[in-house]
Chains A and B, each alone.
Chain A
Amino acid sequence: MDIWLSALQAVFTPTMLFFIMLGVTLGVTLGSIPGLNSTMGTALLIPFTFAMEPAHGLALLTAVYCGGTYGGSISAILFNVPGAPEASATVFDGYEMAKKGKAAEALGYAIICSCLGGLFSVLVMNLVSPQLAKVGLTFSQPEYFALAVAALTLIASLGGGGMAKAFLAGLIGLLAATVGMDEMTAQQRFTFGGKALLGGINFIPAIIGAFAVGEILARVEETKSRADIILTKVSTKLPRIRDIMKMKWLLLRSGVIGTAIGILPGVGATTAAFIGYSEAVRWSKTPEKFGTGIPEGIAGPETANNAAAGGAMVPLLTLGIPGSATTAVIIGGFLVHGLQPGPMLFFNQPKLMYSIFIAMYLANIFMLFAGLGVAKLFSHFRKVRYSILGPCIFVLAAVGAFGIRNDTNDLWIMFSCGVLGYFMKKYKYPIAPMIIGLVLGTLTEISFRRGMTMADYSLLEFLFRPIGGTILLIAVLSFIYSIYRNLVRKAPITLDE
Chain B
Amino acid sequence: MIKSKGELFFLLFILLGAVFLFWETLKFGGGQGVGGRLGPSFWPQIVLAGIIIICAGLMVQYLIKTEKGAEGKKATLDLRQLRFLIAVALIVGYLVLLPFLGFIITTPVFMVAFMYLLGEQSAAWILGVSLGMTAVIVVLFTKVMYVPLPRGRGMFLQFSQIFY
Q: Contact residues of A with B, CB < 8 Å?
A: 33, 35-36, 40, 44, 162, 164-165, 167-168, 171-172, 174-175, 178, 182, 184-187, 189-190, 213, 216-217, 219-225, 385-388, 390-392, 394-396, 398-399, 402-403, 406, 408, 411-412, 415, 418-419, 422-423, 426-427, 445, 448-449, 452-453, 457
Determine how close the nearest CB of chain A comes to the CB of B106; give it in whole angstroms.
10
Asked if B29 and A187 sit within 8 Å, CB to CB, the answer is: yes
- Apart from A187-B30, A220-B84, A386-B118, 12 more pairs, CB < 8 Å: A164-B57, A172-B51, A175-B21, A186-B34, A187-B40, A217-B88, A388-B125, A391-B118, A395-B107, A411-B95, A427-B2, A452-B37
> Given the complex of chains A and B, what is the CA–CA distance between A308 and B149 in angstroms?
31
Determine how close the nearest CB of chain B comes to the CB of A31; give it in whole angstroms.
13
Asked if B80 and A388 sit within 8 Å, CB to CB, the answer is: no
| CB-CB under 8 A for A164 and B58, given A189-B40, A395-B137, A402-B149 | yes
Main SS at interface, chain B: helix
A449 — nearest CB in chain B belongs to which residue? B38
> Given the complex of chains A and B, what is the CA–CA distance between A388 and B130 in angstroms?
9
> Given the complex of chains A and B, what is the CA–CA distance between A403 and B145 in angstroms?
11
Q: What are the interface flags for B136-159 relative to A under an 8 Å C-beta threshold, 1 for contact and 0 otherwise? A: 010011000111111000000000
- Which residues of the partner chain B approach A426 to less than 8 Å between Cβ atoms? 6
Determine how close the nearest CB of chain A comes to the CB of B125; give it in whole angstroms.
6
Asked if A171 and B84 sit within 8 Å, CB to CB, the answer is: no
- Which residues of the partner chain B approach A164 to less than 8 Å between Cβ atoms? 54, 57-58
- Which residues of the partner chain B approach A172 to less than 8 Å between Cβ atoms? 14, 51
| CB-CB under 8 A for A40 and B147, given A225-B120, A427-B6 | yes
Asked if B99 and A408 sit within 8 Å, CB to CB, the answer is: yes
A175 — nearest CB in chain B belongs to which residue? B47
> Given the complex of chains A and B, what is the CA–CA distance between A213 and B10 in angstroms?
18
> Could you show 21 A-B contacts with beta carbons less than 8 Å apart?
A164-B54, A164-B57, A168-B54, A168-B55, A172-B51, A175-B51, A220-B87, A220-B117, A221-B80, A225-B119, A386-B118, A387-B118, A387-B120, A391-B115, A391-B118, A395-B137, A419-B88, A427-B3, A427-B10, A449-B43, A457-B37
- Which residues of the partner chain B approach A224 to less than 8 Å between Cβ atoms? 119
Asked if B30 and A36 sit within 8 Å, CB to CB, the answer is: no
- Which residues of the partner chain A approach B10 to less than 8 Å between Cβ atoms? 423, 427
Q: Does B114 contact A (CB under 8 A)?
A: yes
Asked if B40 and A182 sit within 8 Å, CB to CB, the answer is: yes
Asked if B44 and A415 sit within 8 Å, CB to CB, the answer is: no
Asked if A406 and B35 sit within 8 Å, CB to CB, the answer is: no
- Which residues of the partner chain B approach A394 to less than 8 Å between Cβ atoms? 91, 114
Q: Which of B2-50 contact A (CB under 8 A)?
A: 2-4, 6-7, 10, 14, 18, 21, 24-25, 28-30, 33-44, 47-48, 50
Asked if B148 and A415 sit within 8 Å, CB to CB, the answer is: no
Interface magnitude class on chain B: 35 or more
> Given the complex of chains A and B, what is the CA–CA distance between A406 and B142 in angstroms?
12
The answer, among B36, B87, B115, B150, for a CB contact under 8 Å with A408, is B150
Asked if A457 and B35 sit within 8 Å, CB to CB, the answer is: no
Most chain A CB atoms below 10 A, which of B38, B55, B98, B117: B38
Asked if A175 and B40 sit within 8 Å, CB to CB, the answer is: no
The answer, among B21, B29, B39, B145, for a CB contact under 8 Å with A36, is B145
B52 — nearest CB in chain A belongs to which residue? A171
> Given the complex of chains A and B, what is the CA–CA distance between A457 and B36 in angstroms?
9
Asked if B114 and A403 sit within 8 Å, CB to CB, the answer is: no
B58 — nearest CB in chain A belongs to which residue? A164
- Which residues of the partner chain B approach A171 to less than 8 Å between Cβ atoms? 47, 50-51, 54
Asked if A187 and B28 sit within 8 Å, CB to CB, the answer is: yes
Asked if A185 and B47 sit within 8 Å, CB to CB, the answer is: no
Q: Does B92 contact A (CB under 8 A)?
A: yes
- Which residues of the partner chain B approach A427 to less than 8 Å between Cβ atoms? 2-4, 6-7, 10
Determine how close the nearest CB of chain B comes to the CB of A211; give it in whole angstroms.
15
> Given the complex of chains A and B, what is the CA–CA distance between A399 and B107 in angstroms?
10
Q: Does B1 contact A (CB under 8 A)?
A: yes
A437 — nearest CB in chain B belongs to which residue? B47
Determine how close the nearest CB of chain A comes to the CB of B101; give it in whole angstroms.
12
- Which residues of the partner chain B approach A396 to less than 8 Å between Cβ atoms? 137
Q: Does B83 contact A (CB under 8 A)?
A: yes
- Which residues of the partner chain B approach A408 to less than 8 Å between Cβ atoms? 95, 98-99, 150
Asked if B92 and A415 sit within 8 Å, CB to CB, the answer is: yes
The answer, among A174, A185, A386, for a CB contact under 8 Å with B33, is A185
> Given the complex of chains A and B, what is the CA–CA distance between A381 and B25 in angstroms?
47
- Which residues of the partner chain B approach A391 to less than 8 Å between Cβ atoms? 110-111, 114-115, 118, 129-130
- Which residues of the partner chain B approach A36 to less than 8 Å between Cβ atoms? 141, 145, 147
- For the complex of A and B, the 5 pairs showing the least CB-CB separation, nearest first, are A225-B119, A387-B120, A387-B118, A185-B35, A187-B40
Asked if A174 and B47 sit within 8 Å, CB to CB, the answer is: yes
> Given the complex of chains A and B, what is the CA–CA distance between A108 and B86 in angstroms?
38
Q: Does B81 contact A (CB under 8 A)?
A: yes
B51 — nearest CB in chain A belongs to which residue? A171
- Which residues of the partner chain B approach A418 to less than 8 Å between Cβ atoms? 91
Asked if B1 and A162 sit within 8 Å, CB to CB, the answer is: yes
